[in-house]
Structure 1
């Protein structure tokens, strides 16, 4: 799959205030940091997390359908329904009563770029663990770190993308997971460090044996990004 980057700015633009990662500088714990070489990521921790999240089962999926929703202060700000044929790369987006379709290729027509940006954003939220194998990133693992929202002691994996290529180059994602390699929280950091947002990964449900986190919340709960109408077959 072509290297792509998650434009979480699409979600951030919905929120008027900047969310920041909790300050855990006073936490008394020892940590061990290990940088994972790019050449090792597909066979190392990246692959381990992706497989724990059903990558081997996803290879058999032919169709993925879901609705991406964003709610801020109890008001739904965005709702997009997607149908994705994983074999033909045909994708359709329905917003309100308007449906648009395109085929995802290495060259996206100019009039379809905005749809493709939305699809990358929404599908990354849905299936981010697979991007640890599908896309190129520098991975740095740190043991026994306090998670930004819960404060639980988890393993942190920094996922840093190059500063060229994709829609939002230079973005970084800190994911926090336990011994089962399921993401519990993450922090998105925009290139340049001027924007960041921490949310949970929760309400997991399996579809065709593939675990999906259906809910993502900010620490105060005022921001909720969640999935409905999920079908994988």
Structure 2
């Protein structure tokens, strides 16, 4: 009987230790999973985890100065094949984005890079090869509220706008509130808002960006995510 009691005790202790070990392993996995950088957390807050399911994105990029529409470009992008179609007025062009862009496609590619960055910049903080600062706290340029911010800088060579910097401001929900675009030569500095967010199949997109006085607005219409 003593041997049976001893065996039962040892078996129970072994099971208990194994369960604790499994709990620790699971806990460690959860901890590792949760350890995302601030840029990754911002991208996820804007719906990055849902992007893999996207087959097609349609959007129209518009720029209004005062009360006049200066630019309007309609895009269809299939992320899985990187087939891209641009429609401006009655003219449509299609190309496939590859590592090497032909000279004939560089103009349309430059427009797509610009317009899609405005649409999905939080994802570019993860996708692109940018230098990103540590999180800091400061007064935002438009609302003058205290917010967290990061500086996102692109290298001084390669790309269409080498050396440009974007300072992005956000609150606890990690959705972008404002940003400042700074050109590499220091001659241009433009703050705009991030507002009018809407959820498109899990992608949280700011449909409007306005200058401090409202005289400039960059906005998106005809957004559809499939």
Q: What band does the TM-score fall into relative to the shorter chain? A: 0.7 to 0.9
Moved over 2 A (4+): 141-144
Contact 1:63–1:232 (8 Å) recurs in 2: yes
Distance in structure 1 (CA, Å) of the matches to 2:134 and 2:196: 25
1:68 and 1:228 in contact (8 A); partners too: yes
The reply on whether 1:133 has 2:121 as its aligned counterpart is: no
Query: How far apart, CA to CA, are the structure 1 residues paired with 2:117 and 2:83?
Result: 17
Aligned residues: 192
Paired position in structure 1 for 2:42: 49
Partner of 2:160: 167
SS in 1 for 2:134: strand
More helix by proportion, 1 or 2? 2
Q: Give the Cα separation in 2 of the matches to 1:93 and 1:143.
A: 38
Q: Which runs of 5+ in 1 are unaligned?
A: 1-41
Q: What RMSD, in angstroms, separates the aligned Cα atoms of the two structures?
A: 1.1
- TM-score normalised by structure 1 residue count: 0.81
Higher relative contact order (CA 8 A, sep 6+): 1
**Aligned pairs (5 A) from 1:1-233:** 43-233=36-226
1:192 positional shift: 1.8
In the TM superposition, what is the alpha-carbon distance from 1:142 to its structure 2 partner? 4.1
Q: Highest CA radius of gyration, 1 or 2?
A: 2
Query: For the residues of structure 2 that align with 1:105 and 1:228, how far apart are their CA atoms?
Result: 27
Change (3 A) 1:124 1:145: same
Name the CA distance, whole Å, in 2 between partners of 1:139 and 1:186. Answer: 14
Instruction: Note if contact 2:164-2:183 (Cα within 8 Å) is conserved in structure 1.
Output: yes
- C-alpha distance after superposition, 1:142-200 (max 9, x if no partner): 43311000001110110011111111110000000000110000000000211110000
Contact kept, 8 Å, 1:141 with 1:155, in 2: the verdict is no
TM superposition score normalised by structure 2: 0.83
Residues 214 and 226 in structure 1, CA contact (< 8 A), matched pair in contact too: yes
Q: Where does structure 2 lack aligned partners over 5 or more consecutive residues?
A: 1-34
CA distance in 2, matches of 1:207, 1:230: 8
